[in-house]
Chain A
Amino acid sequence: MTEKFQNLSISINELPKVEEVDFHPIDPKYLKVSLIGSAIFFIILAAGAFAILYFGDDITQLGIIITIGVYLLLLVWNLTLTILGFKKKKYAIRDRDILYSKGLIWSVRTAIPFNRIQHAEIKQGPIERNFGLSSLKVFTAGGQSSDLVIPGLPNETAQRLKDFILKKTAEDGEPTV
């Protein structure tokens, strides 16, 4: 690979490379959590649509067909994204930063160095709790757009990661004045 930016005083090729890192997949059980979440959403949606169709006044047959069609389309789309997108959710912890990548259609890889992390916490929804899973949330300063959530971690892993991050943040974040 040739040098991509010539005017930098260090050689980029010698830097640790994000693209060569081994990412860990998240817990396979999280796929079930996502699917149950989708199922609940679609059951509520179906109930709502049914209520409208049932109590609505002039519902034509065409209207019903279109509703069912759109519903099925959404369902298939959601299932495809959930199942295929699941494999794309991966994370990695390096010496000085945390990486998370996801996304089937839009793949997004986020990297946050430990010395820029403000805070980390563990979150757990009711479905996740049943499967013994947690999400790890990493906060940065100034708004939520650069915050990071890694879902589908076994409780114990999440706790260990959080402790590790907070320790690293404290070490790396110390201003060396």
Chain B
Amino acid sequence: MENQPFDFSEPRRQSTVAIGIILIKFIRMTIRAFWPILLSLFIGGRAGSRFEDIIGFVLLGFAAINLGGSILTFFRFYFHLDKDAIVIDKGVLRRTKTNIPFERIQTINFKQNILHQLFNVVSVEIDTAGAKKSEISIDALKRDEAMALRDFILAEKAQIVPEEIEDQITEEEQITEKEILYLKPLDLIKVGISQNHLRSMALIFAFVFTTLNEITEDIAGLLSDQFAEYEDYVVNNVWFVFVLSTILVLILSFLFSLVNTILKYYELRLSIHKKGLKLVRGLLNREEITINRNKVQIISWSTNPIRKLFNMFTLKISQASSTEASLKSNIKVPGSYQAQINQIIATVFPEDRYQFEITYKMHHLLKIRLFLFLGILPTVLGLATYLGLGTDALYFLLILPVSWILISLYYGKRSYQLNPEFLKSNGGLFGRSHDLTQVHKVQAVRVKQSIYQRRKRIATVLLYTAAGHLTLPFIEIDRARALENFVLYRIQTDSREWM
């Protein structure tokens, strides 16, 4: 990189747009932390003009603090590249100097919210696996500067880390990217339609109730006040009101998930390049995530009943990360077709053995055990209310058939597949879900047995990778041991990179 237009060896500041971006970040943080107070000030403030003055001062104060803070933050933020590390020197009250060696850097991702897009800057997130303080971010850099920074770091890293040198040879290939998935507007709508609307509903309810809760202590009182005038009408038309409100809630949830989907997955593009995958997505917040092929641990794809009608799957690619909880660096594509998934698997796990001859079922005692805990036990507890409820308690008997049907659906789909190279775990209730990993990506094997399982000679096997684990419940003990021995043997004799 001789013709480097940017000199990263001297401490540099971010693009000046960063002041605005940091300011907005601060304001959002303030609002998120104090919104109940702000809201109550607004609502309570209507009473008299003096209150309005106070609100004005408070808001002015908040704004001043935020503005001052963001300007100071901006001027106290420097980054530069040392011989073999990126150094970030920042902090107003507590100064910190972070030094991240190139070889520890896993991925460098770009993000843009609407402000970034307006000024053609990006925020840069640098992720390292394994370290405790795992992430550093630069709020705003000019796009070409950020690209130069990333290219420089990755090139330096490739020189330091020996096993990636061989990849360097094919630099031309690296540049050519092949797009394998683009979410067309129609597909986007399909994804929106087939989202989990129950979750949206729960979110809406949670939002409405927390907001109401902040405004008034007495939700029931408020509601009954509001509806008092309609009371006669409501009482006489219970079913009408019920149906109406159900439809309203359904439409709201549907719109909510649709809008959410469009905001999040607008113009989603997934492309393959030599070293791995790149995902770009989002309307207001444009996000770019790259995943190194070696780092991919698990590929999962699942579908729900509606999405199944469109032949679509939700694809998830999990990569090794510092904490299992950090899902940010995982790629999620809600509208992918089987052919695309196969293509991605072929790219990421480039082995031609992705074919399973035999599918192994879980032990049938899993079904019985689940029925005992999710069917019979709740029913018995429900029937115990007979003392209080009388014959109404008999409705609890309905749990038995419902749970039996659900458990049968689940059990029917639960299985796993194994060959020398791959391990796949299948499941699902109404839809289907699959988790695929390469056997040598496993880093720990756990065999669990309860007293009951020991008596019945079955076990639950958990296979841990650096990005989550696969669970294989209720396997015959001989098979569990064989699996354990085989997986351990495969890990120990495999010298390929696993993350």
A interface residues, Cβ below 8 angstroms from B? 1, 4-10, 12, 15-19, 96-97, 103, 105-116, 118, 140-146, 148, 172, 175-177
Contacts and interface: CB of A to CB of B under 8 A. Distances in A.
A148 B485 CA distance: 19
Contacts of B166: 177
Contacts of A96: 488, 492
Contact of B450 (A106, A140, A172): A106
A109 B443 contact: no
Interface stretch (B86-94, B241-249, B375-383, B463-471): B463-471
A97 B442 CA distance: 13
A57 to B, nearest CB: 25
Contacts of A18: 481, 484-485, 488
A142 B448 contact: no
B489 A16 contact: yes
Contacts of A141: 129-130, 320, 443, 466, 499
A27 B420 CA distance: 39
Interface in B462-494: 464-469, 478-479, 481-486, 488-489, 491-492
B418 to A, nearest CB: 6
Contacts of B175: none
Nearest to A140: B443
B321 A142 contact: yes
Interface of B: 129-130, 162-163, 166, 297, 320-325, 356-358, 418-420, 442-451, 454, 464-469, 478-479, 481-486, 488-489, 491-492, 495-499
B492 A142 contact: no
A156 to B, nearest CB: 27
Contact of B163 (A1, A9, A109, A177): A177
A22 to B, nearest CB: 16
A135 to B, nearest CB: 18
A5 B464 contact: no
28 contacts: A4-B478, A4-B482, A4-B483, A5-B483, A7-B357, A12-B482, A12-B485, A12-B486, A17-B481, A18-B481, A18-B484, A96-B492, A97-B492, A103-B448, A106-B448, A106-B450, A107-B449, A109-B446, A110-B444, A111-B446, A112-B445, A116-B443, A141-B130, A141-B443, A142-B322, A143-B468, A146-B469, A172-B492
A113 B358 CA distance: 27
B448 A108 contact: yes
Contacts, number: 133
A1 B457 CA distance: 15
Contacts of A7: 356-358, 418-420
Indicate the member of B418, B444, B491 with the most A CB atoms within 10 Å.
B444
Nearest to B324: A143
A116 B444 contact: yes
Q: Is the interface of B mostly helix, strand, loop or mixed?
A: mixed
B454 A107 contact: yes
A16 B446 contact: no
Given A17-B485, A177-B166, A108 B492 contact: no
Contacts of A15: 485-486, 489
Given A6-B358, A140-B444, A105 B450 contact: yes
B449 A106 contact: yes
Contacts of A17: 481, 485
10 cross-chain pairs, A with B, having the tightest CB-CB distances, nearest first: A143-B324, A142-B466, A146-B464, A116-B443, A146-B444, A141-B466, A4-B482, A176-B495, A96-B492, A15-B485
Contact of A175 (B163, B358, B467, B491): B163
Contacts of B482: 4-5, 12
Contacts of A8: 418-420, 486
Indicate the member of A105, A108, A143, A175 with the most B CB atoms within 10 Å.
A143
Nearest to A1: B478
Contact of B324 (A12, A16, A145, A177): A145
A142 B127 CA distance: 13
A175 B497 contact: yes
Indicate the member of A6, A10, A142 with the most B CB atoms within 10 Å.
A142
B241 to A, nearest CB: 44
Given A6-B358, A145-B469, A110 B445 contact: yes
Contacts of A4: 478-479, 482-483
B323 A116 contact: no
A33 to B, nearest CB: 25
Contacts of A9: 420
Given A105-B451, A142-B324, 14 more contacts: A5-B482, A5-B483, A16-B485, A103-B448, A106-B448, A116-B444, A116-B491, A140-B444, A140-B464, A142-B323, A142-B465, A142-B467, A143-B325, A176-B495
Nearest to B444: A146
Contact of B444 (A1, A10, A106, A148): A148
A97 B488 CA distance: 8
A169 to B, nearest CB: 12
B491 A108 contact: no
B497 to A, nearest CB: 6
Nearest to B479: A4
A84 B192 CA distance: 54
A36 to B, nearest CB: 28
Contacts of A177: 162-163, 166
A142 B320 contact: yes
Contacts of B320: 141-142
Contacts of A145: 324, 464, 469
B445 A142 contact: no
Contacts of A107: 448-449, 454
Contacts of B448: 103, 106-109
Nearest to A105: B451
Contacts of A12: 482, 485-486
A96 B489 CA distance: 9
A74 B485 CA distance: 38
A72 B450 CA distance: 25
Nearest to A142: B466
B447 to A, nearest CB: 5
Contacts of B495: 175-176
